[in-house]
Amino acid sequence: MLISKKFGPRQRLSMITTNAGPLPETKKEDLGISEFCEKCGLCIKKCPVGAIYQKPVKKQSSTVSCVDHEKCGTFFYDHDGCSVCIKSCPFHKNGYGKIMRKKGKA
């Protein structure tokens, strides 16, 4: 799941192709989200098909993921959608600022 400071987990990725030049490099900022997620685990507990792993898994294609996309996708399409992981995420319910203030990081 992609979690950002501004939108929390409420976003989906898609691709747009263009012939524009490369984007400027940006400085990577540690927002503390990964550390929070490692301790939280609500999305893992609430996933109806157990498609979210605690630790990343290396796939045969050499990609690394914390989600079993086959389990997740099958359930998603069989049930006309699913957003249990997003709805259970504290970043969705409370927002980044409130969570990080509680942790003393904002």
pLDDT in tens, 42-66: 999 999 999 999 988 888 888 888 9
**Do the beta carbons of residue 53 and residue 44 sit within 8 Å?**
yes
Residue 51 placed within a domain: yes
The residue assigned the tokens 């030049």 is: 21
Q: What total of structural domains would you count in the chain?
A: 1
Note down the domain range covering 61.
Answer: 33-102
Residue 106 has pLDDT above 60, yes or no: no
Residue 7 placed within a domain: no
- Reading phi first (left if > 0) and then psi (alpha if -120 to 50, else beta), residue 82 is in beta
Residue 82 has pLDDT above 90, yes or no: yes
Residue 76 has pLDDT above 90, yes or no: yes
Residues 60-89 have a mean pLDDT of 91
Over pLDDT 70: what percentage of the chain?
A: 98
Residue 46 placed within a domain: yes
Residue 59 placed within a domain: yes
Residue 10 placed within a domain: no
Mean pLDDT score of the chain, rounded to an integer? 89
Residue 1 has pLDDT above 90, yes or no: no
Residue 95 placed within a domain: yes
